[in-house]
Amino acid sequence: MGDATGEIVLKGVGVTPGVAHGPAFLLTTEDVRVVERDIAEEEIPREIARFEEALIETRRQLHDIQQRVEKAMDAERASIFDAHLLVVDDRSLVEEVIRGLHTSRRNVESVLRSVSERYSAALAGLDDEYLRERAADVRDVARRILRNLAGHSSSLLAHLREPCIVIANDLAPSDTATLDTSKVIGFATDLGSATSHTAIMARALEIPAVVGLHDASTRISQGDPLLVDGSKGLVILRPSAQTLERYGQAERLRRGVRDQLDRLRDTPAETLDGYRVTLAANIELPHDVEAVLRHGAEGVGLFRSEFLFLSRERAPDELEQARAYEQVAHRLAPATVIIRTLDIGGDKFVSSLKTPSELNPFLGWRAIRFCLAQPEIFATQLRGILRASAHRNVKIMYPMISNADEVLQANRILERAKEDLRRENADFDENIEVGAMIEVPSAALTAHLIAPHVRFFSIGTNDLIQYTMAADRVNERITYLYEPTHPAILRLIRHVIEVAHDTGLWTGVCGEMAGQPALAPLLVGLGVDELSMSPNLVPLVKGMLRRMRLTDLEELAANALTSESAAAILERCRALARAAAPEICDMVE
């Protein structure tokens, strides 16, 4: 998009919220010019020696980066560099370079570039998203080795002097991890997804970032003025004075509202007429506990445990998992931590677990289906969770339950895991609570059959909407069908809540609906006991609920359950929210 002033708006995927404004620093991957030359046979030993020295230096640099990241963040973020170290130590790659020296009689820089390009191209062409992203690891390590062969600085961003926004085709995790956030105030890349290493590191550093822009690095020149909107996934090239003023005003207002909401951190989410709702946080890794505490969430309503398995060449073992879960449980005790068991498949793949490529992965071998078919992997995770339950504040949640039999099978494996730990005299919570995620219409409609075997329900609205409406939530052509306020969705949610309350269970919602200030009140009106969301959304939802009365929310829900129009329901929700807290609505609309 563009206008007469020369302003151009590029749309990508926002991975870290926030706004940054500054000059572009265009990061080109051709930072080392490779001079190709023929070599004589007697020069081959010298080239091999240069190569080995560069490998040793590269390995040292990567270990140094890993230790710095672990010290500054945590071991899980640092484990990202395990893949880079594996590339350095890959004997097949090293031996292929050495063979290339003998057969081509070209210098080692030339051979290394050729071999690494062949490796990365092969990985980039695979169907597995995780393996495709490993192509970036190979490219990153090869560039680092080439820089060491040339005697250049080990960091592409080592010489930054002024604050800037980094633009690149792709930004390697090792470069992201060592960014000086006083100089790099934002970044944007052509490649990348919400689950890429770069995105994970950006979120950890809380730098406004946008990925998946396709051609930003070819449309932006060195020094171009930029504005990065990491919330909306926008990069604005040559922003006009009007745009800067608009963003400036919005940022000043947002900062003022945020300051007011931050003062509510230690207050409950309680309506004006005294009804209290639990607001919990969704997290992915132990490091996210800092955000949970900072934003005043009452524990963790969804610990997405599969993120411990991503970005790794092998699955974490029982004790590794136990340490990660225990770290969260210990920091938040006595607040509750609900750990969702492994939910891979759909849009999340873990190469070390060898999940197959499927035609319809969202409807395939994923989540509890995978775990029940792989009982050893499942039991290992359950033992890890049980070990962390010694703090007596951990709960277990099974994802994508379709029927009661799946819960019974899972519970039997859980009992065997408990028996294993009893034989070791390990301390764990014998009465650990188990819940079922309600994401499939069949589970919602048979909630009364599932209820006797669990202690709580957690409604995953993202998938419940997708499966109920038969609408792929990432398909842009049918986004109009993805309606959280569709009467069918609201009736299913209400039915699950009624079954839960009739049988003495509580119900939470951990999908995107829970974190939307205009829709959270509707869920409370429907009877939801807990809302779990991204930590940074907790203050917004809390601020909204504290401006409302439960009686109004129940009236809103009653009207919604008799309405025929999703659009009309949504409009009523927005009108109620805007009347109660217009400044919060301005922050999210």
Q: What residues are labeled active site? A: 197, 510
Is residue 211 within 8 Å of 199, Cβ to Cβ? yes
Is residue 203 within 8 Å of 15, Cβ to Cβ? yes
Q: What is the DSSP letter of 211?
A: E
Alpha-carbon distances, residue 232 vs 211, 487, 581 (angstroms): 11, 28, 21
Which string of DSSP letters, residue by residue, matches 6-69?
A: S-EEEE-EEEE--EEEEEEEEE-S--S-----B--GGGHHHHHHHHHHHHHHHHHHHHHHHHHH
Q: Is 512 helix (H, G, I), strand (E, B) or coil?
A: helix
Three-class DSSP labels, 360-429: CHHHCCCHHHHHHHCHHHHHHHHHHHHHHHHHCCEEEEECCCCCHHHHHHHHHHHHHHHHHHHHCCCCCC
**Residue 441: is the preceding peptide bond cis (ω within 30°)?**
no
Is residue 209 within a helix (H) or strand (E), and if so which, with residue range? strand 209-211
- CA dist 499 and 501 (Å) reads 6
Residue labelled with tokens 């677990």: 353
Between helix 487-502 and helix 461-469 the angle, nearest 10°, is 130
Two structure tokens written together for 232: 């909306």
Greatest extent of the chain over all pairs of C-alpha atoms, in Å: 88
Query: Strand ranges (DSSP E) for 525-583?
Result: 530-533
Strands 506-509 and 456-459: parallel
Q: Which of 246, 211, 188 is nearest to 24 (CA)?
A: 188
Is residue 477 within 8 Å of 320, Cβ to Cβ? no
Residue labelled with tokens 């610990």: 303
Is residue 277 within 8 Å of 269, Cβ to Cβ? yes
Query: How close are the terminal C-alpha atoms of the chain, in Å?
Result: 20
Phi, psi (deg, nearest 5) at residue 503: -110, 10
Q: Is 187 helix (H, G, I), strand (E, B) or coil?
A: strand
- CA dist 297 and 268 (Å) reads 9
- CA dist 155 and 175 (Å) reads 7
Is residue 326 within 8 Å of 387, Cβ to Cβ? yes
